[in-house]
């Protein structure tokens, strides 16, 4: 299969390579990759800001593809494996697992024609939902969903930073009739303008104070 490999973090050049198609073990699925988003965390792995558990590594953790043998369409996220035994796993907080392994950092990811993934972390993708639109939901969408759940039914939401997760949350929150206050880096006029275009009641620098 064709793949893009990171050999040395801090030297941001991915190497094209021909690799054997990986073989799934018990509890794993072989996924033919249709699309894989590029996340800021992928760039952190390439830059060496986030440690890669093995090298070389195939980056990419916003994977949409079909399971070989069944044709079932699934999405594969950043969280790629958990122990199931630690206090976090036993309290439905698997994302904090003491021994977690991550797609595209510890486990070869989706910048390739095939990827192997833990079946527990392969999410079904609804029919008719395009691959390119589904891929960002495997990271930014999950982060935004978790944040909104933690915020409860608050009528006013403050979003600190207006990246991929925040712009999804903003749209969902406005659809639900909430008001959104977007905090961006000082002088990031483009992000503030984008927030207002998506319906934010206010957008300004995080160092300042919102109107309420």
What local confidence, expressed as pLDDT, does residue 208 receive? Answer: 85
Query: Which SS3 state, helix, strand or coil, does residue 144 take?
Result: helix
Domain 2-129 superfamily per CATH: Medium-chain alcohol dehydrogenases, catalytic domain (3.90.180.10)
Over the chain, what is the mean pLDDT?
95
What local confidence, expressed as pLDDT, does residue 109 receive? Answer: 97
d(CA 82, CA 98): 8
pLDDT interval class at 12 (50, 70, 90): confident
SS3 content of the chain, % helix, strand, coil (to 5): 25, 25, 45
Cβ–Cβ < 8 Å for 14, 59: yes
d(CA 168, CA 142): 10
Query: Which SS3 state, helix, strand or coil, does residue 79 take?
Result: strand
What local confidence, expressed as pLDDT, does residue 26 receive? Answer: 95
d(CA 24, CA 28): 5
What local confidence, expressed as pLDDT, does residue 30 receive? Answer: 98
Angle at alpha carbon of residue 11, lines to 10 and 15, rounded to 5° = 130
Region 154-166: mean pLDDT is: 92
Highest CATH level, class, for 141-205: alpha beta
What local confidence, expressed as pLDDT, does residue 132 receive? Answer: 95
What local confidence, expressed as pLDDT, does residue 44 receive? Answer: 94
Region 92-118: mean pLDDT is: 96
Two tokens at 130? 């395009």
pLDDT digits (tens, 9 = 90+) for 170-185: 999 999 999 999 999 9
Query: Which SS3 state, helix, strand or coil, does residue 84 take?
Result: coil
pLDDT digits (tens, 9 = 90+) for 21-56: 999 999 999 999 999 999 999 999 999 999 999 999
d(CA 146, CA 45): 23
Region 80-102: mean pLDDT is: 95
pLDDT interval class at 17 (50, 70, 90): very high
Two tokens at 150? 């933690």
Helix/strand/coil (H, E, C) string of 93-135?
CHHHCCCCEEECCCECCCCECEEEEEHHHCEECCCCCCHHHHH
pLDDT interval class at 128 (50, 70, 90): confident
Kindly list the domain boundaries of the chain, sorted by start residue: 2-129, 141-205
pLDDT interval class at 90 (50, 70, 90): very high
Cβ–Cβ < 8 Å for 57, 80: no
């Amino acid at each position: 299969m064709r793949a893009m490999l990171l050999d040395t973090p801090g030297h941001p050049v991915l190497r094209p390579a021909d690799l054997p198609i990986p073989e799934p073990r018990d509890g794993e699925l072989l996924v033919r990759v249709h699309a894989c988003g590029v996340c800021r965390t992928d760039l952190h792995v390439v830059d060496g800001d986030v440690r890669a558990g093995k090298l070389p590594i195939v980056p990419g953790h916003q994977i949409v593809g079909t399971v070989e043998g069944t044709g079932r369409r699934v999405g594969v996220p950043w969280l790629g494996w958990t122990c199931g035994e630690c206090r976090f796993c036993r309290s439905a907080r698997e994302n904090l697992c003491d021994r977690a392994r991550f797609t595209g950092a510890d486990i070869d990811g989706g910048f390739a024609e095939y990827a192997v993934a833990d079946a527990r972390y392969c999410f079904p993708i609804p029919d008719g939902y395009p691959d390119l639109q589904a891929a960002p939901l495997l990271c930014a969408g999950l982060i935004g969903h978790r944040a909104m759940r933690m915020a409860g039914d608050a009528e006013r939401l403050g979003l600190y930073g207006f990246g991929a997760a925040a712009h999804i949350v903003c749209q969902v929150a406005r659809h639900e009739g909430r008001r959104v206050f977007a905090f961006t880096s000082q002088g990031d006029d483009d992000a503030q303008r984008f927030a207002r275009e998506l319906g934010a009641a206010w957008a300004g620098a995080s160092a300042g104070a919102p109107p309420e």
